[in-house]
A and B are shown apart, each in its own frame.
Chain A
């Protein structure tokens, strides 16, 4: 029987047994791959349709926009101690009086002042009025070397003493900002010194928190009490 079968196989496929197996397997593999590919192409989107999460926007020029440091409104003003009909404090420009009236250089501290300056709060080291105010032109300010500096350039004045703050400001580590972190996409606006600090009382004021999430940490953080477990579910927000 075995002999006959061999003859039969040899007759149909005049090859040796091992070649036959190899050929058959190879044909089967190729057929399987072709079948698989054709079915895949029939039913699936082509490769270029597969979305990627990489932005296809063209690379934009770096630093296209600028950083704008806000400038104080023109001219220093002093509070009159009065309020208008809407309850806003009335201020008056220094120049209103001091264009004609010489300042009294004997006045070193707030308590010495009278008339308009009464009630002015001052707590800024040992500075006196004319350390910063320019008695030649009250619309401007005065640097330590007596040279004039525009009121809008108040940061130059502050930076004379507050060098570390200025350094931090220049590197974005001091002072609030708005707008864009990425200057290739939009501009940034930065506060100047007197946006946040009253130059007469520069210490940042105390504040009252107004917003509190009703949070799971709302219960006092005393972990030794057992009442924590009672409030378990409802406060675990």
Chain B
């Protein structure tokens, strides 16, 4: 039966009367045809609603795709709404920007532990710059008083209240290390925190659900939680605000050091660096071979905190000599 198949084709081409076709072959072809017809019918039925979308409903809306990238105009609307909310809640006129990462720049920070004397001006500058909750004197920085001879930051003390520096102590400010392998980003269940191209890890305060997984995941205790709506007077509000940095945060959201990205992405130095009276802080572009930060990495004894965890911080500590 199957041997006849080529002959069938041949004979149809030569328009000779068809020989008696094999019933098996015929059934297969017929079944295939029926299956295709059914498939087409099903496809037509499936896509029919797309053709019949009402004019005033967008495809995204129709497919219930609520998560789409905001256009620049959409963003401006969001910033205007947030500024209006700040005006209403705090009575302060602010501008909210969303500076993008500078192409080709990778930020890094270094602190000279031979110079830092634990005076805490950096913590204060952070508090003022980033519109922190005045009620708890929130700051992204913690200055740890460490016993000479130990690098264990878990043994560091933040409660010292005596003149500094003490003879047997050294002082280590700890803030977000902007890791290249950030555990806080990995654990976020809603992707409300991510690493930007210049290395800064940011939080979308309006996307954060406040689960605090990131706080638990951070080995540097660098994340802060807003237990309350930040209290701050209108006069003390810094009006130069960034959507991903120092704008007013709602209660129940996480926040963290963002290297003052509203300043640094405009080329300025971070607030904590400018405030440091000892000149212990160095900030710059890791991708610029002539930057101060690169000179330090090449010429000083540099270490990172908890290197064994593999977090790959962009934050370095060094000593003179």
Within 8 A of B (CB), among A172-221: 172-182, 184-186, 188, 191, 196, 204, 206-215, 217-221
Q: Which of A16, A164, A173 contacts B9 (CB 8 A)?
A: A16
**A39-B59, A210-B120 known; A177-B9 Cβ under 8 A:** no
- Asked if A178 and B40 sit within 8 Å, CB to CB, the answer is no
Q: Which of A5, A185, A207 contacts B164 (CB 8 A)?
A: A207
* B277 interface contact, C-beta 8 A: yes
Question: Which among A50-58, A86-94, A142-150 touches the partner chain?
Answer: A50-58
Q: Which of B30, B51, B120, B161 contacts A5 (CB 8 A)?
A: B30
The closest CB in chain A to the CB of B55 belongs to A42
- B-binding residues in A (CB < 8 A): 2-3, 5-7, 9-10, 16-18, 20-21, 24-25, 28, 32, 35, 39-40, 42-45, 49-51, 53-55, 164, 168, 171-182, 184-186, 188, 191, 196, 204, 206-215, 217-221, 223, 236-237
How distant is the Cα of A42 from the Cα of B158 in the complex, in angstroms?
60
Quote the shortest CB–CB distance from B34 to chain A (angstroms). Answer: 10
* B43 interface contact, C-beta 8 A: yes
The closest CB in chain A to the CB of B161 belongs to A209
Q: Which residues of B contact A50 (CB under 8 A)?
A: 69, 71
Q: Can you list 10 pairs linking A and B with CB atoms under 8 Å apart?
A: A6-B29, A16-B9, A28-B43, A43-B59, A54-B103, A184-B267, A196-B279, A206-B165, A209-B161, A214-B137
- A-binding residues in B (CB < 8 A): 9, 12, 18, 20-21, 23, 26-30, 32-33, 36, 39-40, 43, 47, 50-51, 53, 58-60, 69-72, 75, 99-103, 112, 115, 117-121, 123-124, 127, 136-139, 142-143, 154-165, 196-197, 221, 224-225, 227, 264, 266-269, 273-274, 276-279, 282-285, 292-293, 295-296, 299-300, 318, 320-321
- Asked if B71 and A49 sit within 8 Å, CB to CB, the answer is yes
- Asked if B33 and A185 sit within 8 Å, CB to CB, the answer is no
The closest CB in chain B to the CB of A175 belongs to B279
- Asked if A176 and B36 sit within 8 Å, CB to CB, the answer is no
Given contacts A164-B321, A185-B267, A215-B136, 14 further A-B contacts (CB under 8 A): A2-B30, A10-B12, A10-B18, A28-B39, A32-B47, A50-B71, A51-B69, A55-B99, A171-B299, A172-B296, A173-B112, A210-B120, A211-B120, A237-B227
Quote the shortest CB–CB distance from B107 to chain A (angstroms). Answer: 9
Q: Which residues of A contact B159 (CB under 8 A)?
A: 212, 217-221
The closest CB in chain A to the CB of B21 belongs to A6
- Asked if A180 and B269 sit within 8 Å, CB to CB, the answer is yes
- Asked if A54 and B27 sit within 8 Å, CB to CB, the answer is no
The closest CB in chain A to the CB of B270 belongs to A181
How distant is the Cα of A214 from the Cα of B38 in the complex, in angstroms?
70
- Asked if B163 and A207 sit within 8 Å, CB to CB, the answer is yes
Q: Which residues of B contact A236 (CB under 8 A)?
A: 225
The closest CB in chain B to the CB of A4 belongs to B26
How distant is the Cα of A214 from the Cα of B227 in the complex, in angstroms?
13
- Asked if B267 and A174 sit within 8 Å, CB to CB, the answer is no
- Asked if B30 and A9 sit within 8 Å, CB to CB, the answer is yes
- Asked if B267 and A180 sit within 8 Å, CB to CB, the answer is yes
- Asked if A213 and B43 sit within 8 Å, CB to CB, the answer is no
The closest CB in chain B to the CB of A173 belongs to B296
Q: Which residues of B contact A7 (CB under 8 A)?
A: 18
Q: Which residues of A contact B39 (CB under 8 A)?
A: 28
**A43-B60, A217-B159 known; A176-B278 Cβ under 8 A:** yes
- Asked if A35 and B47 sit within 8 Å, CB to CB, the answer is yes
How distant is the Cα of A237 from the Cα of B196 in the complex, in angstroms?
26
Those 4 A-B pairs whose CB atoms lie nearest each other, nearest first: A172-B292, A185-B267, A17-B29, A182-B267
Quote the shortest CB–CB distance from B196 to chain A (angstroms). Answer: 8
- Asked if A53 and B36 sit within 8 Å, CB to CB, the answer is no
- Asked if B121 and A54 sit within 8 Å, CB to CB, the answer is no
Q: Which residues of B contact A2 (CB under 8 A)?
A: 21, 23, 26-27, 30
Q: Which residues of A contact B163 (CB under 8 A)?
A: 206-208
How distant is the Cα of A157 from the Cα of B139 in the complex, in angstroms?
40
How distant is the Cα of A52 from the Cα of B161 in the complex, in angstroms?
48
How distant is the Cα of A127 from the Cα of B53 in the complex, in angstroms?
89
Quote the shortest CB–CB distance from B133 to chain A (angstroms). Answer: 8
Quote the shortest CB–CB distance from B242 to chain A (angstroms). Answer: 13
- Asked if B268 and A179 sit within 8 Å, CB to CB, the answer is yes
- Asked if A173 and B282 sit within 8 Å, CB to CB, the answer is yes
How distant is the Cα of A4 from the Cα of B56 in the complex, in angstroms?
51
- Asked if B279 and A177 sit within 8 Å, CB to CB, the answer is yes
Quote the shortest CB–CB distance from A154 to chain B (angstroms). Answer: 17
How distant is the Cα of A188 from the Cα of B279 in the complex, in angstroms?
14
The closest CB in chain A to the CB of B58 belongs to A43
- Asked if A42 and B26 sit within 8 Å, CB to CB, the answer is no
Q: Which residues of B contact A211 (CB under 8 A)?
A: 120-121, 123-124, 127, 137, 139
Q: Which residues of B contact A171 (CB under 8 A)?
A: 292, 295-296, 299
Q: Which residues of B contact A178 (CB under 8 A)?
A: 269, 274
- Asked if B21 and A3 sit within 8 Å, CB to CB, the answer is yes
- Asked if A196 and B157 sit within 8 Å, CB to CB, the answer is no
**A39-B50, A220-B159 known; A24-B36 Cβ under 8 A:** yes
